[in-house]
């Protein structure tokens, strides 16, 4: 059997849903499990709705109506006035409205409420795709991933209980996949008590890897709006080159440093079972794309990763003591507690510097705690450029009109923290 994963861009419109249905139909009747993300920018919209709901803000109703109207328009464009196939979608919309009409539960953590509301994006998209497939005559079966993917209660970053998850997936799907295409959600799971959790933003790739690992799939295909894995993001770099083959190691490195084409957690579950990962274009589904697997040859060309909106924070002990293990332990503990990921770190005898994503809400909570123990300096609005398999020519190329603040080199990778002078 094979696992397909479609992201939000592939199902952002009725035409996108038709295209996805065509790709699925072209690969049936092979055993196929399809993981689908929320449509378009729905996750971002549901995030805004969640904060408005928790803060009892007046724009809650307007945000909700926009989300509802967006999905209703797609359904109307798919089947016209015959909306009966989408009855389960309208039931979900009613469920969301009922939640929004409740007062926020004072005993629930904000992140728990976030997971409950934001998860509806995937539930809506998969119900719509499932209904449309059945409407066109392709037998598909909708499965709620929350019944199968078991996590702890780390809301917004649920940690998977692999033993239970694999047991639930194999028991529930092995026989079902013999006769029908299975449609399920990325990004979401649940706790032992049945509370909805999410696996972290852009976690649908990870979900596809979880299902593939547990079902021992022959392969996973991630369908993107790019022709495969490129050596740089075309949004930031001209003259990109498609990479035909990647080793698991190179893919993990690229994902770790921020390559957006693959979620960082995706590779390990696949590598453990030597399951190949294909990255292909849903715009040109006949093209082969990129395959990631157990290859010996590493990246043939330099690869560039650009992370924007970065903040460089430098911590200095107030008493001029050394940055030793005790200080580092406390610092890492604080960053972990507030969920602030460190993208680069560097230390001297009396300072420790980190580069992090500019997450205003999390940094706003972390910074006062750090200031209690350390003197802090920082620079915002920076870029972090990572080059795998670099040379001096590639470094010079990305430093045009940039001020270099930090440079860190290893044998295969260089990371540059820069300020745009343009």
Q: Each residue of 241-280: b (16+ CB within 10 Å) or e?
A: ebbebbbbebbbbbbebbbebbbbbbbebbbeeebbbbbb
Q: How many CA atoms lie within 13 A of 321 on its CB side?
A: 10
How far are the Cα atoms of 72, 241, 267, 299 from residue 244, in angstroms, in the given order? 39, 9, 17, 10
Is the pLDDT assigned to residue 108 strictly greater than 90?
A: no
Residue carrying the six token digits 């032992």: 192
How far are the Cα atoms of 7, 246, 307 from residue 235, in angstroms, in the given order? 18, 22, 11
Is 406 in a helix, a strand, or coil? strand
For 71-95, how does the pLDDT look when each residue is reduced to its tens digit (9 = 90+)? 999 999 999 999 999 999 999 999 9
Question: Across residues 32-53, what is the average pLDDT?
Answer: 96
For 63-77, how does the pLDDT look when each residue is reduced to its tens digit (9 = 90+)? 999 999 999 999 999
Is the pLDDT assigned to residue 335 strictly greater than 70?
A: yes
Q: Each residue of 20-31: b (16+ CB within 10 Å) or e?
A: bbebbeeeeeeb
Q: What percent of the chain has pLDDT over 90?
A: 68
Residue 257, pLDDT score: 81
Is the pLDDT assigned to residue 172 strictly greater than 80?
A: yes
Q: Which CATH architecture has domain 2-224?
A: 3-Layer(aba) Sandwich (3.40)
Question: Across residues 187-199, what is the average pLDDT?
Answer: 97
- In whole angstroms, how large is the CA radius of gyration of the chain? 23
Is the pLDDT assigned to residue 360 strictly greater than 70?
A: no
pLDDT class of 37 with cuts at 50, 70, 90: very high
Residue 358, pLDDT score: 85
Residue 202, pLDDT score: 81
317-322 contact pairs (CB < 8 A, 24+): 317/350, 317/373, 317/374, 317/375, 318/373, 318/374, 318/375, 320/350, 321/350, 322/349, 322/350
pLDDT class of 389 with cuts at 50, 70, 90: confident
Q: Which of 322, 303, 180, 306 is nearest to 246 (CA)?
A: 303
Q: What fold does the segment set 303-420 form as a domain? A: VC0802-like (3.30.2130)
* H or E element, residue 367: helix 360-373
Q: Give the contacts of 116 (CB within 8 A, at least 6 positions apart).
A: 99, 195, 196
Residue 35, pLDDT score: 98
For 309-319, how does the pLDDT look when each residue is reduced to its tens digit (9 = 90+)? 999 999 988 87
For 271-305, how does the pLDDT look when each residue is reduced to its tens digit (9 = 90+)? 999 999 999 999 999 999 999 999 988 777 889 99
For 130-166, how does the pLDDT look when each residue is reduced to its tens digit (9 = 90+)? 999 999 999 999 999 999 999 999 999 999 999 999 9
Helix pair 60-79, 87-101: axis angle to 10 deg = 180
Average pLDDT along the chain: 92
**pTM for the whole thing?**
0.87
For 208-217, how does the pLDDT look when each residue is reduced to its tens digit (9 = 90+)? 999 999 999 9
Cα dihedral across residues 159, 198, 359, 230: positive or negative: positive
Q: Which of 32, 91, 34, 100 is nearest to 61 (CA)?
A: 100
Residue 47, pLDDT score: 95
Is the pLDDT assigned to residue 193 strictly greater than 80?
A: yes
102 vs 260, more confident: 102
Is the pLDDT assigned to residue 182 strictly greater than 80?
A: yes
256 vs 290, more confident: 290
Phi, psi of 362 (to 5 degrees): -70, -40
Domain residue spans of the chain? 2-224, 303-420
- The answer to whether 383 and 402 are in contact (CB under 8 A) is yes
- The answer to whether 357 and 382 are in contact (CB under 8 A) is no
Common-topology check for domains 2-224 and 303-420: no
Q: How many CA atoms lie within 13 A of 230 on its CB side?
A: 19
How far are the Cα atoms of 55, 344, 375 from residue 22, in angstroms, in the given order? 42, 43, 58
Is the pLDDT assigned to residue 320 strictly greater than 70?
A: no
């Amino acid at each position: 059997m094979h696992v397909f994963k479609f992201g939000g861009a592939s199902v952002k419109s009725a035409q996108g849903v038709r295209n996805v249905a065509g790709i699925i139909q072209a690969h049936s009747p092979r055993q196929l499990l399809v993981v689908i993300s929320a449509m378009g920018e729905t996750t971002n919209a549901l995030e805004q709705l969640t904060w408005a709901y928790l803060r009892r803000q007046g724009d809650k109703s307007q945000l909700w109506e926009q989300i509802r109207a967006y999905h209703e328009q797609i359904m109307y464009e798919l089947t016209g006035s015959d909306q009966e196939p989408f009855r389960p979608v309208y039931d979900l919309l009613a469920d969301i409205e009922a939640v929004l009409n409740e007062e926020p539960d004072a005993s629930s953590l904000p992140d728990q409420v976030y997971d409950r509301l934001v998860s509806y994006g995937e539930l809506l998209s998969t119900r719509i795709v499932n209904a449309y497939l059945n409407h066109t005559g392709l037998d598909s079966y909708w499965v709620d991933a929350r019944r199968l993917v078991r996590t702890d209660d780390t809301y917004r970053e649920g940690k998977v209980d692999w033993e239970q998850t694999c047991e639930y997936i194999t028991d529930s799907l092995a026989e079902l996949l013999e006769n029908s295409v299975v449609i399920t959600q990325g990004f979401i799971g649940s706790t032992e008590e049945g509370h909805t959790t999410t696996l972290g933003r852009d976690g649908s790739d990870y979900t596809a890897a979880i299902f593939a690992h547990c079902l021992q799939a022959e392969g996973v295909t991630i369908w993107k709006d790019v022709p495969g894995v490129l050596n740089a993001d075309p949004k930031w770099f001209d003259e990109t080159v498609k990479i035909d083959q990647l080793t698991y190691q190179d893919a993990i490195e690229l994902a770790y440093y921020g390559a957006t084409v693959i979620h960082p957690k995706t590779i390990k579950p696949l590598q453990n079972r030597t399951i190949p990962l294909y990255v292909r274009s849903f715009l040109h589904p006949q093209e082969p794309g990129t395959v990631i697997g157990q290859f010996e040859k590493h990246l043939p060309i330099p690869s560039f990763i650009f992370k924007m909106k970065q903040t460089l924070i430098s911590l200095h002990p107030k008493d001029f003591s050394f940055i030793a293990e005790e200080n580092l332990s406390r610092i890492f503990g604080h960053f972990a507690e507030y969920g602030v990921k460190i993208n680069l770190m560097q230390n001297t005898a009396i300072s420790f510097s980190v580069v992090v994503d500019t997450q205003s809400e999390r940094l706003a909570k972390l910074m006062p705690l750090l200031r209690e123990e350390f003197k802090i300096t920082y620079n915002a609005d920076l870029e972090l450029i990572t080059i795998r398999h670099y040379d001096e020519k590639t470094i010079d190329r990305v430093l045009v009109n940039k001020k270099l603040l930090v440079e860190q080199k290893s044998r295969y990778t260089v990371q540059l923290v820069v300020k745009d002078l343009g």
